[in-house]
Structures are given as structure tokens and as C-alpha cells.
A and B are shown apart, each in its own frame.
Chain A
Amino acid sequence: MNVAVIGATSGIAEAVARRFAKERARLFLAARNPAKLRAVADDLRVRGAVEIFVHQIDFADFAVHDALIAAVRERMPTLDVVLIAYGTLPDQKAIDRDPSAQVAAFTLNATSVISIASRFASLLEDQKSGTLAVIGSVAGDRGRRSNYVYGSAKAAVHAWCDGVRGRLERAGAAMVLIKPGWIDTAMTAHLAKGPLFMSADSAGAAIHAAITRRERVAYVPVWWRAISFALKMIPSSILARVSF
């Protein structure tokens, strides 16, 4: 099995990749920080991955996206799973009045993700097999004052995934959109942890299962689907008055 993990040093991606390593997959890992990438690669090798390729990349640099696809193609003639997992959670308050920081966060979380995902989508469509899995977020289901830049970028990714799914399924490939709730990773390190937080390891198991089952949209944990539904039902007049 050939699996490409784009953003392999994210806490969620690492937890998912451990499951694929245990299944003795061949792994292509792409991330920005070479030292962290090496630590993750060593771990996955010991856990059972039969072969590992690492690729250092700055996702915000659109000029290197083609080279990433070329590197994957060179190592893996066919792709079974592509997981796109990178992103950044900006401090919303700090960028409320900083348009360029908002655009930078949106660009990395949405435009850059679509730039890379669309290349992989075409690859899987041509190949007529494989699963494209993208990490979205419950934050993308409804814009909220506490994280609307992150949320709007994820909303863009959601809409993109929903549309591309039609193309992929017609060709025999699959699109799995993962919507994590609160997961305990580096991204959420600054948030106070309540009982609603899920460990990265449990999230990794749930996401791996969703990818294996080719679920179209998977909330992780599953009960976030109900919370998201309730959030979407709240009238805007009320949502504007609360601060979460």
C-alpha cells in the first residue's frame, strides 16, 4: 500500500500514519521542518513501514507544489491514500485588525491546500483508484467570532472537497473529508483542555478507520456532528452576541 502524508509532522497526521505503518505501508512524508520530519520517519519505520520517503517543503510556496507531486510520482507509481493534514490555527484576536495576517492564514489553510489537493485529485482521477483524505474542521461548519479566519478557510476546503468528490467517485476514486473537533495536539496547545478534547491517538484511530471505510464526511469524534448541526441552527442574530 502506498500512502502519501502531506503535513506529516502534525499531531493528527502522525497518529494516522502510525496505523498505516503498522499495516506495513510504503510512506511518503512531506513537511516543513526537516528535524521533526526525521523524528516522525524514524518512528514510522520502527513501527513497521516497509519503505519511507521524506520531502521537505514550504506549503506556502506555490512554486514548489509541482515538484512535490513529481517527487511523489517518482517514488510511488500508484497511490492508495493521500492524506492532506497541514494547517495553522491563528490567534484570532491577534489578527482581527491585521488583514495581511488574515490573508496569510487563509492562503495556507485554503488556497495552498486546494492547490496541492487539486493536483492529487487529478492524479487519482487519472489513476481511477485511491482515496484523497483532507483534514477540514468543525470550525468550517459555521463562522464564529473566536476563529472565523481559520473557519472560513476550512469552509472553502469543505466546499471544494464536496464538489471534487463527484469527479473522483465517477472515476472509481474516493474523497474523505475529515472534520475534527477539539483534538489535543500542538495546534491546540494554548487552549484550556476540557473533557470535550480527544487525544491525538484516538483521533488517529478514528481517522484511519474513516479512510479505510471511505466515509464521505467523518466527524472526529462522531458526536461533533450533532454539535455542528446545532451550531448551524443558531440564528445569526444570536451567534453575533456570543463570543465563542
Chain B
Amino acid sequence: MAPYESWGRFIASHPSSVVPLRWRDSLPPLSEGPYLAYGKGRSYGDSCLNNGGTLLDAAPLSRLIDFDRQRGIIHCEAGLTLDALLNVIVPTGWFVPVTPGTKFVTIGGCIANDVHGKNHHRAGTFGRHIVSLTLVRSDGNQLHCTPNENAELFAATIGGLGLTGVITTAEITLKSIASSDIDQEQIAFTSLEEWDALSGESDASHEYTVSWFDASRSPTRGVLFRGNHAAEGKGHAQRPSVSLPLRPFSIFLQPASMRLFNEAYFWANARRRGVHRVGFDPFFYPLDALANWNELYGKRGFVQYQCVIPTAAGLAPVTELLARIREVQSFLTVLKRFGSLPSPGMMSFPKEGVTVALDFPVGGPRLMPLLDDLDRLVAKAGGAVYPAKDARMSGESFKRFFPQWEAFARYIDPRFSSSFWRRVAYSGP
């Protein structure tokens, strides 16, 4: 059964106990602690870990409660995965309003991390589409939270990293679709400035945009992917996800082979022209085809670094960041422009600007000092690093990125905590 790891597998998970949550109206007594709800373990670092404490396994809380097919509002338990939700709603002409790059995440995890997707410039974060949620506190109180009712806890819980209690249910506004297919287009670019123009233009015409960068090259180059829901068509069948023994293949994840891969990937995509109709699986969830792709990084695991550089700082910090990482190669570099739609979440990560996500295999003495340098660069630009991806930022950096952390801490349940929170909140100035 599940070993309750985090996705990066860099920080070891050793909870003192794991308690499953089976019925939303009769949770086990939460009289000791510290507790933390655990969904599918898709956070990369330690925000989903509670070493020495108790993990509350929310996976059994996977029931649907109600589905208003006219208005497109789903009411469900928070351990339900996007995968299971899509199975129910897609055949009826609805889609999730916002999705991260994997569908193997729970609704509770989407709320606690206030996740974003390729449509941030149109739809904002996941939290914007929450009509209401139920929060169970360790004192046994079951609170119905909306933007108007228990409004402060609602705001603290969206992006609240699971620290405000257990999210047991949520009501979510869905997006109407005419077909489950996506009309996808990819366009190659050969500099950051070219990407910037292309990105701005694509955001105006397309619901979904995201860009892959070949960060090993200077000037950089890459491929922008953009798509809209198809206007008609009955949709491709859903694609299965397979689990393979991948750990031995980590030896192929070397800078030289990655350069080869980048070269091939760039040219394969640069040569494809025009609009292709694809199923939503390959468009939104390309990596889900390999259920355990994280094991490609071998037994030491990997770290992801995702930051946002606000628009006000201009493109210069992004250029500098891309130059800095050339010395320690990122195996997967993804950029996207965040829009200006505000999140209701107090601790939400996205803000208007450019977000950069980088994957690094763990190992090599230069990686951690480089990431500390990037933290300073991001802080100077007025940006932030995404806690859901983080396994290493200092308490000092965290407090610079999220100066509202002390106001947020007032809403944390006294019996809840996480490895992440103990690492960043109780260290530094």
C-alpha cells in the first residue's frame, strides 16, 4: 500500500502513525497531534509530510454528494481525485475549472495548495471556483466556510497548506465544455523576448497556454503550447496510466542524454504546424501516462523549484534566472505567464507575472547553493517560491516571500502542523 511519500522523494517520510478518514461526519477524535491531512502525496517537498506526527489519510473520503448538472456545481468529499471527478463530469459536458499538470491529486490538495493551471490568465487559481467547503477542526467543530460565512477561515484554508484543519467536503463550480477534446497548437521560439510576445498574444486567443524551455541553450529556445476546448466532437477515449519499474533507468537522466532529449523534443515539436485535435489527457496530463515517473530520478529523488517573478520587475530577473541555471542543468523547464485575477486565498502563491518551474535531480554540491541564490533573486524581484513544490527554502526566504505568514498563523489549528511548516515558520528571524 501507499508509503505516504511526497512526490520528489527527496525528504523521507516517517509519520509516527497514519489514521484513515472514512466518514465525513464521524472523523476519529483529534485530541493529540500534530495532525496533517494527506491526499495523494503529489506535493513535491514536505508540505504534505508530517514527520513524527500523524497523517490523516483522506483517500477514503472519495464520495460525491451532489451534482447540479444544470448549473455545473459539484459537491464532493475532499479525498476525491480529479481523475475520479473527471470520469463522472466529462461525459455530462463539464470540466474542472482549473487543473494542475496531474489528475492524480485530491480536491482537498487542490484547495490547500490553491493550485493553478494552464488557464491561470483566464480562470485564476482553483480557490476562485470554490463555492463552499467544510473544515473540521481538532476541537470537533465542523465549519461551513464560504466567502461570507466563516470568511476568514475560508480565506486561510485556500492555500493554507492543510494547516487550518481537515477539509472534508467542497462545492466547486465547473466549466461547461462542448467536447472533451482540445484543439492544440505548438509554436517554437528562439529567445525569451520572442516567447514574451508570443505568450501575450496567445493568452488573448487561447484558454490554455504553457511553454517548455530548453534551458541548456543560450539564448534559450523552446516551444509554446496553446489550446482551446474543441467546439464539437465526441472526444478521444481516456488514456490508461501505467506503472513501470523505472528506478534502474535513472542512469539515463544525465546532462548529456538530457541535451539529446531537448534537441529531439525541440525539433519534433518545432516541425509540427497547425492545429491538432487531441484528447484532454495528453494535453493536460502528459506525464500521467507513466504513473510513477518520479522514480526516473532514482533513489535520491529530485527537487522542483517554482517561483513567480512579478510583472513589475520586468523580464530581466527571468533572463538572469535562466542564465544561472545553465551551470546546474534543470531537466524540465516550464514557463507560464500568470494573469491578474486575484485569489481568495490568504497564502496563495500566484501573482501577476512570469512563473518558472524547474526540476533538478538531487546530488552534486552546486545545487542547493544555486537555489539559495535563486531565492535571493526572486525576493529582490518581489516574487515568491511555491511551497507545494518546495523542499529546501530557508525560513528567512519564506517569510520574505509570504510576509502575511504571521496573520495566517492565527488561523492554524493548534493541533495541526507539517514538516514544511516546522521547517519554515520556526526558523530564521
Measured CB to CB, the residues of A under 8 A from B are: 11, 35-36, 39-40, 42-43, 46-48, 184, 186, 189, 193-195, 197, 199-200
Contacts and interface: CB of A to CB of B under 8 A. Distances in A.
Contacts of A35: 23, 25-26
A39 B60 contact: no
B134 to A, nearest CB: 13
Given A39-B24, A184-B1, A186-B22, A46 B88 contact: yes
Contacts of A186: 20, 22
A47 B89 CA distance: 9
11 contacts: A11-B22, A35-B25, A36-B23, A39-B23, A39-B63, A39-B65, A42-B66, A43-B64, A189-B20, A189-B22, A194-B1
A193 B88 CA distance: 30
B67 interface: yes
A46 B1 CA distance: 28
Contacts of A36: 23
Contacts, number: 38
B63 A43 contact: yes
B1 A47 contact: no
Contacts of A46: 64-67, 88
B169 to A, nearest CB: 10
B33 to A, nearest CB: 19
Contacts of B1: 184, 193-195, 197, 199
Interface string B1-30: 100000000000000000010111110000
Most buried by B among A11, A189, A199: A189
B63 A42 contact: yes
Contacts of A197: 1
B65 A42 contact: yes
A11 B60 CA distance: 9
Contact of B64 (A11, A42, A195): A42
B51 to A, nearest CB: 18
Contacts of B88: 46-48
Given A193-B1, A197-B1, A43 B20 contact: no
A133 B28 CA distance: 32
Contacts of B20: 186, 189
Contacts of B64: 42-43, 46-47
Given A39-B24, A48-B88, A184-B1, 20 more contacts: A11-B22, A11-B60, A35-B23, A35-B25, A35-B26, A39-B23, A39-B65, A42-B63, A42-B65, A43-B65, A46-B65, A46-B66, A46-B67, A47-B88, A186-B20, A189-B20, A193-B1, A194-B1, A199-B1, A200-B60
Nearest to B74: A46
A35 B67 CA distance: 19
Contacts of A193: 1
B245 to A, nearest CB: 14
A7 B66 CA distance: 23
A200 B79 CA distance: 14
A189 B67 CA distance: 30
Contacts of B25: 35, 39
A243 to B, nearest CB: 23
Nearest to A199: B1
Contacts of A200: 60
Nearest to A43: B63
A39 B64 CA distance: 8
Contacts of A189: 20, 22
Contacts of A42: 63-66
Nearest to A42: B65
Contacts of B22: 11, 186, 189
Contacts of B65: 39, 42-43, 46
